[in-house]
Amino acid sequence: MKHYLCLLLLCFIPFTTTAQQFTFNQGGTSQKDYHAEIAYENVNNKIIIPVVIQNKTYRFLLDTGAPCIITKKLYDHLKPAVLTNANITDANGTIDSLKMVSLPEVTLGNIAFNDVPALVSDNKLISECMNIDGFIGSNMLRNSILHLSSTKQTIVITDNHSKLNLNKKHASKLILVDNQSSPYITIELRNKKSAREQLLFDTGMNNLYDMSLRAYDIFKNENLFTNTQEGYGNATIGIFGNAGGTKNYRFTIPEIKINGIPFKNATVETTSDQNSRFGAELLNHGIVTIDYKNKYFYFEPFRESYDLKEKQFGFKPTIVNDKLVVGIIWDDAIRGTVGIGDEIVQIDDINYENIDHCYIVTQPSPLKNKDSATVTFRNSAEDLTKLTLNKN
């Protein structure tokens, strides 16, 4: 009989409202037996879809880890009714207050959603670089079924599961958390011991799996990890920007199972968010269906198993003040020579001093698909250091 350490994370409400008690579970569609297939644009593992508001088509990011959001620019144009102010916690755990408004009608394909609550955000790094006007979040999809196919590069939204070719052998239970209806799934971690974690499925996150520091503290003594490295800093950009530096960990999990499908030798990093997340990288390995309506999560893999073993560089870049900088240092061999926040001036033959920061945001990591790289760093004293670094 298997013994599992179960980490069913407590439900942290991502916001609290001040003033009147409006919630994200208001609004929806009155249509029945609806079905819309919508082509999407993939921008660095971000899903961008067309959305019609007041007979005009806008670009929205599909983010199951967020509520609906519109940009300040779109808010100024639409002038929707303001419901209240809400205190919001972003992916870095940063808290701030945003307006909550009501959008009279939002149309996806041939489906009209009415009286949709949405936040107003002024994060220009995300909106301008991704050229988007807002986010479609889980609160608008909470009574629907969302089917995501990277091979067809389409999403399907329906309320009738019989219109999708779904197989229960690929299904697991889905838990909807808080009135944002955030979709939580359960995965299994295996090494010398086994454990289960309940975590957010977040299409707004690029990579496969980020583990919360809270989960790491519980799991670290259970012999689940190998090749653990400790770093300091932060390379995650949330809706409120960069977070402050914190202690982080990078490690290998010998096996992760998602709906019974094994992913071996996955490199995982911690996040300062309260909850762990599975991200859009999963779409590169199979077809995903989030059945909000009936509370099932489907993952139909392209292969029977995956080996994700990969060497890693000893630092991780991020963007601060429109510059490419060092976000986290993992390798003790370069610690002290290179510091957190040092500007990354050049990688091999590409100079990043004058490159538009939006190019960096919308492209894969400049270190992706490299086994070695010659990197020039500039510290706060304007000193330059050139290092030839290898993945280990």
Are residues 269 and 181 in contact, defined by beta-carbon separation less than 8 angstroms?
Answer: no
pLDDT given for residue 236 in this prediction: 61
361 and 289 in a single domain? The answer is no
291 and 350 in a single domain? The answer is no
Q: Is the pTM of this model over 0.85?
A: yes
Residue 346 belongs to a domain with what CATH number?
2.30.42
pLDDT digits (tens, 9 = 90+) for 84-116: 887 776 655 667 788 999 999 999 999 999 999
Q: Which of 248, 280, 310 is the last residue before a domain boundary?
A: 310
181 and 216 in a single domain? The answer is yes
Tokens encoding 362: 């919308």
> d(Cα 392, Cα 311) in Å, to the nearest integer?
5
271 and 186 in a single domain? The answer is yes
Are residues 57 and 74 in contact, defined by beta-carbon separation less than 8 angstroms?
Answer: no
Residue from 341, 355, 199, 374 nearest 277 by CA:
199
Are residues 133 and 118 in contact, defined by beta-carbon separation less than 8 angstroms?
Answer: no
Single-letter amino acid, residue 173: K
Token look-up 């590069």 returns: 153
- Say yes or no to pLDDT of 10 above 60: no
Q: Which of 278, 310, 342 is the last residue before a domain boundary?
A: 310
Q: For a pLDDT cut of 70, what percent of the chain falls above it?
A: 90
- Domain span at residue 288 reads 1-310
245 and 350 in a single domain? The answer is no
124 and 270 in a single domain? The answer is yes
Listed in sequence order, the DSSP H helices in 195-320 are 213-219
pLDDT given for residue 2 in this prediction: 43
- Say yes or no to pLDDT of 13 above 90: no
| DSSP states along 160-229 | -GGGS---GGGEEE-EEETTTTEEEEEEEEESSSEEEEEEEEETTSSSSEEEEHHHHHHHTTTT--EEEE
Cα diameter, the chain: 64
Number of domains in the chain: 2
Are residues 235 and 316 in contact, defined by beta-carbon separation less than 8 angstroms?
Answer: yes
120 and 194 in a single domain? The answer is yes
140 and 253 in a single domain? The answer is yes
187 and 94 in a single domain? The answer is yes
Tokens encoding 316: 């991780």
Residue from 169, 140, 134, 164 nearest 152 by CA:
164
Whole-number average pLDDT of the chain? 89
pLDDT given for residue 240 in this prediction: 52
Number of C-alpha atoms within 13 angstroms, CB side, residue 224? 25
Compute the average pLDDT of residues 324-346.
Answer: 93
User: Angle CA(307)–CA(318)–CA(264) in degrees, nearest 5?
Assistant: 10
Compute the average pLDDT of residues 243-265.
Answer: 91
Backbone angles phi, psi at 90, to 5 degrees: -90, -170
Residue 189 belongs to a domain with what CATH number?
2.40.70.10
